């Protein structure tokens, strides 16, 4: 237990706590706009709903009787089309070019709202999983001399990369701090040495706010503080948060797309810190993350880091039925690295009944 390990959380890790997968987002968005299934009592501005339905149904005249989620467009595709139109200074027939940017923000707001609706109740899977990782490490993999300093050792040996905007993993790490004194760091600033548990979120987070005037970052531990901003879009209200400098705060979210805006200083710093850290990492644990082509910027960082240090083992924790894509993408990205796929023996992935078996098997390889 001397090797550094990075846990990489994708949408599949949040699925255990009922967050939608990437390919399920648009079926949820269409349900939300139509006010059906779990969204019959939504309280959004009627003009907003009408405008977004007109826009989306022009791009995708979806049959409302579609059953299979695979028949809906992916969120990355839709956002990519809008970004590409903006880059080319063009638009689509019947859609004003000047509205494209607002559609991007509105779609992101819909994601935030759906995540809020899906995760309103306190979920337990990610919390229990992380608690089990720490207590197993503490009990089995530290000797008597190290036991009193197990928190310090844990922070040095383990780190987390969260691709998701939701704060399920964040909340689980907050609980580690409250229960065991494990402090964490989002790695917003470039440092030579981090003394806290590293949590990288290169696509932003629903509990982050950024003032684009003075650069101040506002975070909240348990609350999705950017929801107020997005609700002001969905409900056409003026519910905004103002920085001390007098400027309105903005959410720090990088929407899923093939054209990701990564120029923000905070996001750049996170990516730099991530690459520097990856050069010291031996083990990668992919949990519900398929390493898609849309995340080419992450593939680039991982490849650069691999050529400096070299990853010894990659462990896959996925749900059976989705694993072929996950395994193929990872194997193609890291040829020659030992890939350990736990899916055949733990086919349900990260679920309530599989937490202890997963952790037990993990520590056999770490």
Question: Domains along the chain?
Answer: 5-18+122-203+258-365 (3.40.50.1220), 22-118 (no CATH), 208-253 (no CATH)
Query: Could you please report the per-residue DSSP string of 68-136?
Result: -GGGSPPHHHHHHHHHHHHHTT---TTS-GGGHHHHHHHHHHHHHHHHHHHT-S---HHHHHHHHHHHH
Q: What pLDDT sits at residue 64?
A: 59
- Provide the percentage of residues in the chain whose pLDDT is more than 90: 37
Q: What pLDDT sits at residue 102?
A: 92
Q: Does residue 31 have a pLDDT over 90?
A: no
Q: Does residue 321 have a pLDDT over 80?
A: no
Q: Does residue 207 have a pLDDT over 80?
A: yes
Q: Does residue 10 have a pLDDT over 70?
A: yes
- Provide the percentage of residues in the chain whose pLDDT is more than 70: 92
Q: Does residue 11 have a pLDDT over 90?
A: no
Report how far residue 126's alpha carbon sits from residue 355's, in angstroms, rounded to the nearest whole number: 9
- Nearest alpha-carbon partner for 1 in 157, 150, 131: 157
Q: What is the number of other CB atoms lying within 10 angstroms of the CB of residue 294? A: 20
Rounded to 5°, angle at Cα 152 from 351 and 357: 20
Q: How much is the average pLDDT of 197-221? A: 91
Q: How much is the average pLDDT of 232-250? A: 85
The angle, 0 to 180 degrees and rounded to 10, between the axes of the packed helices 296-308 and 265-278 is: 40
Q: Does residue 63 have a pLDDT over 70?
A: no
Q: What pTM was computed for the model?
A: 0.90
Residue 312's φ and ψ, nearest 5 degrees, are -85, -45
- Nearest alpha-carbon partner for 334 in 315, 362, 361: 315
Beta carbons of 274 and 195 less than 8 angstroms apart: no
Q: What is the number of other CB atoms lying within 10 angstroms of the CB of residue 148? A: 9
Beta carbons of 103 and 257 less than 8 angstroms apart: no
Q: What pLDDT sits at residue 24?
A: 78
Beta carbons of 276 and 301 less than 8 angstroms apart: no
Mean pLDDT over the full length of the chain: 86
Residue 80's φ and ψ, nearest 5 degrees, are -65, -40
Phi-psi region of 279 (alpha: psi -120 to 50; beta: other; left: phi over 0): alpha
Range in 171-175, 229-233, 248-252, 261-265 with the lowest mean pLDDT? 261-265
Q: Does residue 277 have a pLDDT over 90?
A: yes
Distances (CA, A) of 216 to 11, 160, 238, 267, 270: 28, 24, 21, 13, 15
Q: What pLDDT sits at residue 279?
A: 93
Q: What pLDDT sits at residue 2?
A: 60
Report how far residue 120's alpha carbon sits from residue 188's, in angstroms, rounded to the nearest whole number: 27
Q: What pLDDT sits at residue 266?
A: 92
Within its chain, how far is the Cα of 176 from the centroid? 19
More confident residue, 34 or 278: 278
DSSP lists the bridge partners of residue 283 as: 5, 313
Q: Which tens digits make up the pLDDT trace of 130-164?
A: 999 999 998 876 666 666 688 888 999 999 999 98
Q: Does residue 96 have a pLDDT over 60?
A: yes
Q: What pLDDT sits at residue 158?
A: 95
Q: Does residue 105 have a pLDDT over 80?
A: yes
Confidence category of residue 16, pLDDT binned at 50, 70, 90: confident
Tokens of 338: 């030992």
Confidence category of residue 15, pLDDT binned at 50, 70, 90: confident
- Nearest alpha-carbon partner for 138 in 157, 159, 158, 154: 154
Q: Does residue 342 have a pLDDT over 70?
A: yes
Confidence category of residue 76, pLDDT binned at 50, 70, 90: confident
Q: Does residue 1 have a pLDDT over 60?
A: no
Helices (H), the chain: 11-15, 25-34, 46-59, 75-87, 100-118, 125-140, 144-147, 150-157, 168-180, 227-234, 265-278, 296-308, 323-333, 355-365
Q: How much is the average pLDDT of 34-49? A: 84
Q: What pLDDT sits at residue 66?
A: 52
Q: How much is the average pLDDT of 100-105? A: 91
DSSP lists the bridge partners of residue 316 as: 286, 341
């Amino acid at each position: 237990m001397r090797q550094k390990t990075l846990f990489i959380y994708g949408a599949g890790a949040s699925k255990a706590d009922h967050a939608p997968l990437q390919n399920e987002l648009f079926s949820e968005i269409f349900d939300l706009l139509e006010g059906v299934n779990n969204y019959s009592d939504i309280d959004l501005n009627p003009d907003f709903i009408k405008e977004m339905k007109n826009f989306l149904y022009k791009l995708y005249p979806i049959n409302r009787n579609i059953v299979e989620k695979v028949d809906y467009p992916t969120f990355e595709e839709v956002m990519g089309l809008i970004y590409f139109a903006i880059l080319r200074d063009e638009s689509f027939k019947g859609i004003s070019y000047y509205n494209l940017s607002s559609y991007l923000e509105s779609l992101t707001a819909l994601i935030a709202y759906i995540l809020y609706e899906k995760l309103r109740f306190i979920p337990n899977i990610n919390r229990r999983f992380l608690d089990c990782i720490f207590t197993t490490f503490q009990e089995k993999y530290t000797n008597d001399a190290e036991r009193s300093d197990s928190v310090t050792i844990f922070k040095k040996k383990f780190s987390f990369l969260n691709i998701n905007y939701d704060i399920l993993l964040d909340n689980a790490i907050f609980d580690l701090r409250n229960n065991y004194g494990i402090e964490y760091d989002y790695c917003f600033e470039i440092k030579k040495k981090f003394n806290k548990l590293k949590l990288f979120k290169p696509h932003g987070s629903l509990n982050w706010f950024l003032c684009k005037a003075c650069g101040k970052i506002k975070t909240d531990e348990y609350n999705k503080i950017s929801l107020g901003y997005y609700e002001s879009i969905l409900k056409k209200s003026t519910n905004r948060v103002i920085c001390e400098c007098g400027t309105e705060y903005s959410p720090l979210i990088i929407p899923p797309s093939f054209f990701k805006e990564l120029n923000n200083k905070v996001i750049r710093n996170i990516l730099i810190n991530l690459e520097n850290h990856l050069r010291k990492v031996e083990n990668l644990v992919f949990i519900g993350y398929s390493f898609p082509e849309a995340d080419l910027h992450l593939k680039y960082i991982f490849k650069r880091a691999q050529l400096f240090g070299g990853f010894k083992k990659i462990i896959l924790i996925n749900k059976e039925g989705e694993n072929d894509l996950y395994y193929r993408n990872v194997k193609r990205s890291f040829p020659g690295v030992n890939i350990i796929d736990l899916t055949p023996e733990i086919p349900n992935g990260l679920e309530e009944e599989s937490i202890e078996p997963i952790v037990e098997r993990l520590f056999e390889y770490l």
